[in-house]
Structure 1
């Protein structure tokens, strides 16, 4: 079909400056998904493993298997332990050999369940980076040696730590299993999605429709996607329209209407109709593959919070070692070797950071998982941590706060004519054009369920407008150039409205019947309905909102005023966007930049947090730390809320975990022995287990943070 060429240079000028964005979007939509690199993710565990040095070389399944077997072996060890029986006030059953159950099974637990920690501790010693694994291995080794010394009656010690050793190993295995399962869940969910991709596709050929393996699809192929079927690859609809379920990509449960020219993503489901789609990306080049790669990168990325936990573990190692040495020397000087050994062993066992092992990693794991479920893909964990400190969110206008396509905004008629009749007439004339502006007029008429009169003889008049015959009348739609050519001038009643529209940067088109002006319509870049909520909610959280655009000042001012934005940067060239970020930073503000991923890379990279919105544009963009899989700007609020909540949980857990050790270790060492207060090994072990449970439960509370954009307030 002939494209529009009539949208005027005059009345249309303000939006005309924005229109390259419209055109670029339509022109590039077919190629949008070809930028996604991908690396294999069969070893999902490995990505989770390497994100936390403690787990190097181990998998989720290994921790799970060792935990269950260790737990099973721990039950008889705990039951037959005299110390535990004394603690709970019961006498274990006695039969020949019953006293050997704890040491024999305890040894199995030490060698089998404790193996990952012993290996990790040796590695930390070799690298001279003492941390969690060295603390754990030191505690279980001391408990193991002391318990055998007591069992074999070597020295006058009462250090029956078999039950404590068993529970210590079981709890630490459980903690590591939970952590790694959470770390891998986001990747696992996406792997499960990839597994749901169809094995076969229906490819349309000259000979008809043939069923082929998805692996045989190539760019440019046309595939038939029936109602209820999944998209086998990324593509662009060339025939038909259907409601698509995109929840697996965006986190939004509401279906989205996709029609001719619209991009669709592999893994999404056509729910109600059959469509034909031209394949634009297959396999590792699809948006889904790009998302999987991003999640893997996020799991492998470093984190300041994790570094903090590692430093805390190192501190506790030196603290426990020093406390153990001082305890031993102090009790030796007091003349009690058995008490010196007992107190020292108790200190080293209690110093083991059960809770610290979960404090930070579990919070990070759950926050990353929750974000992925909501369509917020954390590519760099530091970006999530920084989000709580942001002072201003800088939104790119076109495609972020707005839809990046024109929309009929207002209509005015001459002599009191019906606005709907005017719109129906304009839509009838425009119905044969595929220009974005023409489609906007037709879409507006369809949304009102207007009956369009039949039109014939469509023609385009370069630079002036379009013409068609409707009910035997020649009807034209165009801007100022068309009016000048026809020698027509606007009636004053109409001119007042068009001046107001142009004042806010709208494009104005007139509808002309013969030589009589019937009325005019205004078109503007459509503001996303979610944008108002996003701006208001950010401001209610004490965060300023700014907008940046290459559009003319009056267009930007109008959008900024409508959304109540704090600061507007207009007529900014793409290459200069990062300078505006720098200007805000020079004022002492921490900036989160939200862009569509097309030409915002420098600005996204310069900002404290770079957020790319819309998986359809450039999901693999390296400059963004966060990807919002959907196009809903309210998802930025999910980032802010999750960042603040996870930071609070991290510190609560860290304070609880380290605070417990700092208080319990001196008590175990006997600093208050003169007052008759000594923390027994049994009591310390119980309190230590309670500390671990508190930390784990506290981290789980993160799941209550509302991250669905529609629930954000």
Structure 2
């Protein structure tokens, strides 16, 4: 083979060897795999890896109240009766209906009935009233358990003064109906999670606007918002209302939605990033992009920190992969041959392998700086 042709062939082989796109092709997947592993170790189940890239642009953090910012462990503060039935009868009837529900409010009512050693009758034909409560028959009589918004929408008469007083104290209210008659009411208290207030404050520090969305009454929501330092909240929302709120905020930036219940699933799906509380319902978890295994909202701060670190590593690896090719390919082609610098195919293969190792090692240096 003529020397000129041999030299050209050698340059071609060196270029093909050194230009193998392993470094560029592995730049992102290696970092994503590493960040997913770190997330799992720290109680963050990342189901949609795209969320890691989107999180750096998050502008709004929309959050459910019950079970997300609060413990979701209700205790009955009081039972009021507005008709002939006694407080015990009111609570027993409500416990009968709620025995078919796993909602946190239902758990509190059932626990109170057990604590008071009430005889709870059987309930039949229990149906969920979406965004409202339950309906069913007890001893052949049709009853409904509803929220305050339902009473107002249907213009039903009840002791609003007493109800508002209990709501203003931060209690969630549930009313028992028989036909168009409000028989009684249960007020249940819940506790804020210990990390919720600091979590909200840190979101503000990071320039993310926290917003509470809840199906609870306005007075209760206002009380909780005040305790957390929230200036934006929406109350008495049905599932479709939460979706509408998510869409409205999406007009102004990237939205993260945090929730735990069946009612939150549609809004989790609508949000740019849906985050489910690990102790929540299967429907919410299946819909979410990220699951907080420890059910601590403060872990969202760790997710945001991990997302930022992940994006930095991805950019570093891309710069290395691209920069390596930009510099190495001209050298392999013989751009410095006139001054006596020539890369052999063997050296080109070694450099190519080294570039891949550098990308892998850089990905392995990714770590989570916990909030």
- TM-score norm. by structure 1 comes to 0.37
Q: Is the alpha carbon distance of 1:362 and 1:459 closer, same or farther for their aligned partners in structure 2, counting shifts above 3 Å? A: closer
Q: Does 1:403 align with 2:75?
A: no
Rounded Cα–Cα distance in structure 2 between residues aligned with 1:621 and 1:662: 44
Q: Does 1:575 align with 2:240?
A: yes
Q: Does 1:525 align with 2:190?
A: yes
- Point out where structure 1 has 5 or more consecutive residues left out of the alignment: 1-154, 158-335, 410-429, 444-454, 461-497, 509-521, 707-711
For residue 32 of structure 2, the aligned residue among 364, 369, 372 is 364
Larger relative contact order, structure 1 or 2 (CA cutoff 8 Å, min sep 6): 2
Alignment correspondent of 2:108: 436
Rounded Cα–Cα distance in structure 1 between residues aligned with 2:258 and 2:74: 21
The superposition leaves residues 186-233 of structure 1 with CA deviations (integer Å, 9 ceiling, x where unpaired) of xxxxxxxxxxxxxxxxxxxxxxxxxxxxxxxxxxxxxxxxxxxxxxxx
Rounded Cα–Cα distance in structure 2 between residues aligned with 1:439 and 1:343: 80
Residues 615 and 627, structure 1, Cα contact 8 Å, conserved in 2: no
Alignment correspondent of 2:16: 348
Give secondary structure in 2 for the equivalent of 1:401: coil
Equivalent runs, 1:258-657 vs 2, <5 Å: 336-406=4-74, 436=108, 503-506=168-171, 524-586=189-251, 588-618=252-282, 622-657=286-321
Q: Is the alpha carbon distance of 1:676 and 1:667 closer, same or farther for their aligned partners in structure 2, counting shifts above 3 Å? A: same
Q: CA deviation at 1:568?
A: 0.7
Q: Is the alpha carbon distance of 1:441 and 1:390 closer, same or farther for their aligned partners in structure 2, counting shifts above 3 Å? A: farther
Equivalent runs, 1:172-191 vs 2, <5 Å: none
Rounded Cα–Cα distance in structure 2 between residues aligned with 1:559 and 1:638: 24
Give secondary structure in 2 for the equivalent of 1:529: coil
Aligned length: 290
Q: List 4+ stretches of structure 1 deviating above 4 A.
A: 437-443, 457-460, 498-502, 619-622
Residues 504 and 557, structure 1, Cα contact 8 Å, conserved in 2: no
Rounded Cα–Cα distance in structure 1 between residues aligned with 2:199 and 2:165: 27
Q: CA deviation at 1:640?
A: 1.3
Equivalent runs, 1:9-408 vs 2, <5 Å: 155=1, 336-406=4-74
Q: Is the alpha carbon distance of 1:499 and 1:546 closer, same or farther for their aligned partners in structure 2, counting shifts above 3 Å? A: closer
- Point out where structure 2 has 5 or more consecutive residues left out of the alignment: 78-90, 96-106, 121-162, 174-186
Rounded Cα–Cα distance in structure 1 between residues aligned with 2:42 and 2:168: 39
Q: Is the alpha carbon distance of 1:623 and 1:499 closer, same or farther for their aligned partners in structure 2, counting shifts above 3 Å? A: closer
Residues 619 and 627, structure 1, Cα contact 8 Å, conserved in 2: no
Q: Is the alpha carbon distance of 1:646 and 1:661 closer, same or farther for their aligned partners in structure 2, counting shifts above 3 Å? A: same
- TM-score norm. by structure 2 comes to 0.68
Give secondary structure in 1 for the equivalent of 2:215: coil
Q: Does 1:668 align with 2:340?
A: no
Rounded Cα–Cα distance in structure 2 between residues aligned with 1:442 and 1:621: 30
Q: CA deviation at 1:525?
A: 2.0
**Structure richer in helix, relative to its length:** 1
RMSD over aligned CA atoms reads 3.4
Rounded Cα–Cα distance in structure 2 between residues aligned with 1:622 and 1:459: 37
Q: Is the alpha carbon distance of 1:351 and 1:701 closer, same or farther for their aligned partners in structure 2, counting shifts above 3 Å? A: same
Residues 259 and 284, structure 2, Cα contact 8 Å, conserved in 1: no
Residues 535 and 563, structure 1, Cα contact 8 Å, conserved in 2: yes
Give secondary structure in 2 for the equivalent of 1:578: helix
Rounded Cα–Cα distance in structure 2 between residues aligned with 1:400 and 1:440: 23
Q: Is the alpha carbon distance of 1:685 and 1:459 closer, same or farther for their aligned partners in structure 2, counting shifts above 3 Å? A: closer
Residues 246 and 255, structure 2, Cα contact 8 Å, conserved in 1: yes
